[in-house]
Chain A
Amino acid sequence: MRHVRRDRLLSILFISPSVIAIAVFVYGFIGFTGFSSLTKWDALTPDFTLVGLRNYTRLFTIDRFLSDLRNTVTFTVLFLAACLIIGLFLAILLDQRIKAEGFFRSVFLFPMAISFIVTGVVWRWLLNPGTTQTGSSGVNLLFEKLGLGFLRWGWFTDPTIWHIPADSTVGAFLTRLGLGGLTSSYVGISLAMISVVIAATWQMSGYTMAMYLAGLRGVPDELREAARVDGATEVQVYRHIVLPLLQPITLSAVIVLGHISLKIFDLVVSMTGSGPAFATDVPAFFMFDTTFRGNNFAQGAAIATLLLIVVAALVVPYLRYTIRTEAEL
């Protein structure tokens, strides 16, 4: 019995360095950041005078932060949609007993092995629109060469925000309903963000492809065969048999890609920076600037805490769901 008790103690000892590290460096630090966000600490020397939620309320009056929120929504929606659709589409194609499947899989997946910094540097060069002095460059130049010159545009240098103009019929109607806020340029789509979405999708769509392909391989052949015998067309087999079975994979992909898109930082820093009028700015970059360049620690902590709350709202239910279904197995 002594033996057993000693082993039990050892097992706790084995895991304790990690548990202590996580307790301090994850939970302790989050607590410290949360606390800092409630203080007046706006210079290098800490000032822990409590000021309540002032740092949070102030954020919603800052042009850059409101632009960041708009950009994050634009980015998350477009990036998720693109990755899921392209990933599923490529996976279905690869599932058709393709020759050289391994080659195609590697080609779609290799960008995942690369740093976002490299991706950013390369895509900045690719989507660099050129100027009137230099002429078109990058993809714009490629369009010209292919006779598709009409597709040229400013990419990440285009400051246009698509939103409902206040002086339009719809805008006037909304204003009459007391919803004039919806005509603000903070409720819209930043076109420059599309360039970042293209680069991010190039890097991450192979991931959804791989996940969906693994899922497709898990669908028993008998199931499809039975449906075909019953006279289902290939499209019907996918729509009614295969796709419903892939739903858990879509959920995992949404969580993984969703939390990546909320945290996105490296790609924006190396590819576009803040962009014209913060057209490609994101909260993680704003936090970095505010805290480590501007020394406004309390304000930076408030941005970080908001980011964490949004990510946790996405991830915590998913973790609970995953652990629970695992326990049932």
Chain B
Amino acid sequence: MTANSFELAQGPTKPQRKIHWGRVAIYVILIAAALYYLLPVYLLIITGMKSFAEVSLARMWDLPSGLHFDSYIKAWFGKESEGIRGLSNNFMNSVYLAVPATLGSALLGSMNGYVLAKWKFRGSDVLFPLILFGMFIPYQSILIPLVQTLQRMHLYGSIPGLIFVHIVYGIPITTLIFRNYYAGIPTELVEASKIDGASFLGIYRHVLFPISMPGFVVVMIWQFQSVWNDFLFGVIVTSRPAVQPITVALNNMAGSYIVEWNVQMAGSILAALPTLLVFIFLGRYFMRGLLAGSLKG
């Protein structure tokens, strides 16, 4: 029996191979939407690739005549004769800032999540939302005393100061993600270890920590992305260009009229690249952090 005769045997109502216009419409809309979302990327890339001679408003949508990396070089190294500060230094500042801040708040979040999920105490159910509230507050409401306190601690205007700030205000979200993550791990596992005589620290080190990797990946991606992309703390805590993170430096560069658009676009790509790469390669974990951020995780 051939495939064809089998299909015939199904009856005469076999659907013809027709075009489903509804589905075509869905794809057309999706592709149009995708083009819209990619439009700024197109403009970023082509503008950044243009040579200085090609930059004109009338031709801003045209493709570049070839691959020119002058704009990237200028955005990265700057040009002293024109008074343009390069972003290389600030890029590295962001690296020195984001890595320790991410590790620090992830570790604290994991410790808090462990206690709040597996060692509940009287009042821990009140404490948890009180900690969570810290991730929703408008930071304007803490900036004034923050500056005063950092000055007293001799941390104001420095990268360590900024690291400290990001660790502290990262506690709520990292605690939330880890608490939900550990809540999903069977309590019997912890109870059994307790009966076996394992101590509080022993359970953390030998039972929970080794299976915490997925939680750490989600939290670290989330924290890295929010620290790297932060502007408010950067602009408040660091006033000297030499210690500013890249978002602040990019904003300064874009606000200065002497910097051409193609250099600004190249600078934007440089500033966006690390988090974009994380998104491209670890997008699945990015999604999880995102959904955890809406509490229901």
Residues of A within 8 A of B (CB): 3, 6-8, 10-12, 14-15, 17-19, 21-22, 25-30, 32-33, 36, 90, 93-94, 96, 98, 103-104, 106-126, 130, 134-138, 141-142, 145, 202, 206-207, 210-211, 214, 248-249, 252-253, 255-256, 259, 262-263, 265-266, 269-270, 284, 287-288, 291-292, 297, 300-301, 303-305, 307-308, 311-312, 315-316, 319-320, 322-323, 327
Contacts and interface: CB of A to CB of B under 8 A. Distances in A.
Return the 4 tightest CB-CB contacts between A and B, nearest first.
A115-B229, A113-B279, A7-B200, A29-B142
Given A117-B231, A291-B144, A301-B144, A18 B175 contact: yes
Contacts of A265: 140, 231-232
30 contacts: A19-B131, A25-B146, A25-B168, A26-B137, A28-B145, A29-B141, A29-B142, A33-B142, A36-B144, A36-B145, A98-B26, A106-B279, A107-B38, A111-B37, A113-B275, A113-B276, A117-B271, A118-B250, A125-B47, A137-B58, A141-B61, A211-B294, A214-B291, A249-B296, A265-B140, A265-B231, A270-B254, A304-B144, A308-B138, A311-B137
A8 B121 contact: yes
Contact of A114 (B131, B229, B280, B283): B229
Contact of A19 (B43, B127, B149, B232): B127
A22 B171 contact: yes
Main secondary structure of the interface of B (DSSP, over half): helix
A18 B275 contact: no
A11 B132 contact: no
A22 B287 contact: no
B199 A7 contact: yes
A323 B125 contact: yes
B141 A30 contact: yes
A48 to B, nearest CB: 13
Contact of A116 (B44, B60, B229): B229
Given A107-B34, A142-B61, A320-B129, A252 B134 contact: no
A120 B272 CA distance: 12
B57 interface: yes
A304 B57 contact: no
B80 to A, nearest CB: 23
A137 B232 contact: no
Given A122-B40, A266-B231, A114 B144 contact: no
Interface in B165-200: 168-169, 171-172, 175, 197, 199-200
Nearest to A15: B115
A25 B32 CA distance: 46
Contacts of A300: 140, 144
B290 interface: yes
A71 to B, nearest CB: 16
Contacts of A270: 231, 250-251, 254-255
A141 B168 contact: no
Nearest to A286: B140
A25 B169 contact: yes
Interface stretch (B1-9, B210-218, B261-269): B261-269
The residue in B128, B137, B265 that gathers the most chain A C-beta atoms within 10 A of its C-beta is: B137
Given A15-B112, A115-B228, A319 B140 contact: no
Contacts of B254: 120-121, 124, 270
A15 B119 CA distance: 11
B242 interface: no
Given A138-B60, A327-B125, A115 B275 contact: yes
Given A118-B271, A265-B232, A18 B251 contact: no
Contacts of A113: 225, 272, 275-276, 278-279, 286
Contacts of A93: 26, 29-30
Nearest to B183: A326
